[in-house]
Amino acid sequence: MINFIGSYDCKADAKGRIMLPVALKNQMSPLLNDGFVLKRAVFRPCLELYPMQVYNAMMEKMNQKNRFLKKNSDFIRRFTAGVKMVEIDSTGRLLIPKNLIEVAHIKKEVVLSSAINMVEVWDKESYEKVLDETAVDFEALTEEVMGTEGDTNDDVS
């Protein structure tokens, strides 16, 4: 199971390349040969970087959907719109395609933020804004998502 750890401030150059921090590159090193998939996020103006095996598992689940239902077909089309296969080059750089830079409004300052089995790629200003927006309700959100009454499996806290 893949679990990335950490948030990292980076810079994008004029061509959309980001030098991965050593700590993140080390976490990704066992996955470099298989490659990665970069896609737009569903709920926020950022990108999601998936190791190929994680993306393939997600696509297997997606392939279970009946494509003769319009809503499923529409969802799959939108979910996979703009998806790109990407690689980390030998110097540890990730090239973000221009169309995805526009989707995430990436300028120069970038945040790479781990999200369990994938890494979110944010414009720094957008990332900080989203953190500020969700900070107010984080206590209630934590209780709602993680604090189910009657759940005796308390391995997390």
Spatial separation of the C-alpha atoms in residues 111 and 7, rounded to whole Å: 7
pTM of the model: 0.88
CA angle 23–33–57, rounded 5-degree value:
90
DSSP-assigned letter for residue 12 = B
Per-residue pLDDT reduced to its tens digit, 83-122: 999 999 989 999 999 999 999 999 999 999 999 999 999 9
**Full set of structural domains in the chain with CATH:** 7-146 (3.40.1550.20)
* pLDDT tens digits, one per residue of 18-68: 999 999 999 999 999 999 999 999 999 999 999 999 999 999 999 999 999
Give the separation between CA 31 and CA 50, rounded to whole angstroms: 10
CA distances from 67 to 1, 24, 119 (A): 29, 37, 29
Burial (CB count within 10 angstroms: exposed 0-12, middle 13-18, buried 19+), residue 18: buried
48: exposed, middle or buried (Cβ count in 10 Å: 0-12, 13-18, 19+): buried
